[in-house]
Amino acid sequence: MFESLRRVILGAGLLVPVVLASTRAAAVEEIKACLTDLSLWGQKEKDGSFTGANADLLKAFAEKSKLTLSYVFAPYPRLIKNLESGACDITITLPPTDAKDIDVGPKYWTIRMGILPRPAAGIAKMGDLVGKKIGTLVDANLGPDFDNNKTFQKISLPTYSQLVAMLTKDRIDAIAGDLDILETLAKGMNYNPGKPLTMVELDLHVMVSKKSPWAKKPEQIHQIFKDLVSSGEARKIIVKNLTGQH
């Protein structure tokens, strides 16, 4: 199940655009980021602006940079090929198992996917979901073993905030999704859920194309993310967007 879930999330393309502080005081340089549209992480609006966690992280990076950033949109398989060929310089996602010509940098976020139940739901393993009402995000992909399971009822809503609100009122038995986000929301609502059931943990990494001009100085790219992670700024930006609390 875990490998199928990994493939689904890879297909969704959880990506984050990045910028790099220029080491030259002269002309403004450009860096190209591979991106895939993904609800809550990055959407391109009709007016051309970008919203979601990706966009807000980009703004944070831009404050530390003097680079012009452009985007290369593609689904995950094409994105990896773009990165390997040098068509784009950088991205953040789950590293492919057979990466070529890609410098995989540090982890910046761990997606802990699982089930957060209400205290009296009696859910300690996946088999306990039978006959239960399980909340999910609209269009969420949690792997074929979960998505194709007809033994429990799925109730989909646009935001995690709405799902947690339903959980606090016992209108659903559990929520399937990002446990860190769900637990953060539950704490904010002074709600003590049941023990979470972790399905899989997936690490997102900074990745730089070895055929990119920036491949000669990936440590500078990686340092920006290390600083954003260590300061807590990256987590704050991601939680804000994924919880719907703006």
Tens of each residue's pLDDT in the chain, 246 residues: 545 545 544 444 444 444 444 444 444 578 888 877 666 677 777 887 777 777 777 777 767 777 777 877 777 678 788 899 999 888 877 888 777 899 888 787 888 899 999 999 999 999 999 999 999 988 777 888 888 999 999 999 988 889 999 999 999 999 999 898 899 889 989 999 999 999 988 888 888 899 988 787 777 778 888 888 899 998 888 888 877 654
For the four alpha carbons of 120, 110, 226 and 25, in that order, the dihedral sign comes to negative
Neighbours of 90 (CB within 10 A): 27
Tokens in use for 30?
A: 């450009």
Domains observed in the chain? 2-110+206-243 (3.40.190.10), 111-200 (3.40.190.10)
Contact 74, 36 (CB under 8 A): yes
Phi and psi torsions of 81, nearest 5°: -65, -40
Concatenated DSSP letters of 76-134: HHHHHHHHHHTSS-EEEEPPPTT--SEEEEEEEEEEEEEEEE-TTS--SSGGGGTT-EE
For the four alpha carbons of 125, 6, 43 and 37, in that order, the dihedral sign comes to negative
